[in-house]
Structure 1
Amino acid sequence: MTLTDDPRQILITAAQRSVAMGLNRGTVGNFSLRHGAGMLITPTGILPEAITPDQIVEMDLQGNWQGDWRPSSEWEIHAKIYAARPDAGAVVHTHSDHATALSALRKPIPPFHYMICGFGGNEIPCAEYACFGTPELSATVIAALGDTYGACLMANHGVVTLGATMEAALGRGERLEMLAKQYLLASSAGTPVLLNEEELRFAHIRYRSYGQQACG
């Protein structure tokens, strides 16, 4: 992402990058950042390449906002995550192809690959189905994420990821789509062999320092 301290520009860049990464098309998907006691979120119905900083919506976690631009119809998912998860500094919602295809199965992605451990548990959970833009949907997402998961599928809908920063949340979305594609490929060739409890336990230990540079 571009180096900037402007949170509105961070959101615009993330929305545009999601399209370049193949995670979204058109006006689908939405992005937010925790902002004081509330949040900043992308507007509804505007193509990422057309969003301007003044169209980013500032709102509280109860759904109150002012201005000429309406927030994403999925604002409540973002608000409920910030209220429930102090570790969330950014939230991303995408309709990436492979993960969305798996969401139609209404099942979690099982531990076929050690990178599943980077999402807060031994699977990537799938939230129960609820209609888009409803309080029921935000409730199912919160239930699926619990206290530890950094992402979940949304049944017959798409994906939600969170992170301390937008870079972390968007990167998690990219990795989830990669794993979804790999799981579909493996499943098309047979039945994937899943990691057992001991293998998962050791993978979680290793993941504590995964991808980190050594000091000194």
Structure 2
Amino acid sequence: MLPAGQPKFKRRKADRPDEIVAAALEVFAEKGFAAARLEDIAKRAGVSKGAIYLYFATKEDIFRAVVEQGVAPNLSAVQNILANASADFPDLLRGLVKVLAGVVATTPVGGIVKMVIGESRNFPELAQAWHDQLVRPALAAMTQAIAAAQARGELRPGDPRLHAISLISPLLVGVVWRETFLPVGAEPIDIPALAEQHVELWLRGMLTKSGAAS
């Protein structure tokens, strides 16, 4: 194995963009966007700084690749769950939130979320990429699934988009708590447990009699 930080010249060139993106995901999550340097990303990826410019023109381009390649693939699992129209809605929802909570709890995506929230004023393109490629399609899919369950009489009336936002809000709170307060000594939050408890509470309030009986 090559020493950390040394260029991996023996690896195929086709592997290097993926290595750069994986390294950038970690560096952005740890340092934020403004403080992350290309030198940091190159060192973490085991390539030279010049090698980065062979694949990415700017740091913003690297971030877009992080969203597309490092984070967005998790969206496919979410969309597959929501596309299963034949599934019992409570089980579908439990499965969905379990996947989302698992991603938040086991990957650096929480640090990226904090970065986007904290630096979007100075770098609005970060929020734009995150919204367009992740938030908007995921929220649309969840909104559609809730609206379909309402049409079947399984869920109570209400704006399905607002219901979808209320479902995922605890995950965002859990991420902000972990990334902001945990480092200064706050008591940790079990994000999967928080999500599971919220889903059960949400279902008790939202399911109709026919939905609860199905």
Bigger share in helix = 2
**Structure-2-length-normalised TM-score:** 0.27
Larger CA Rg, structure 1 vs 2: 2
Bigger share in strand = 1
**Structure-1-length-normalised TM-score:** 0.26
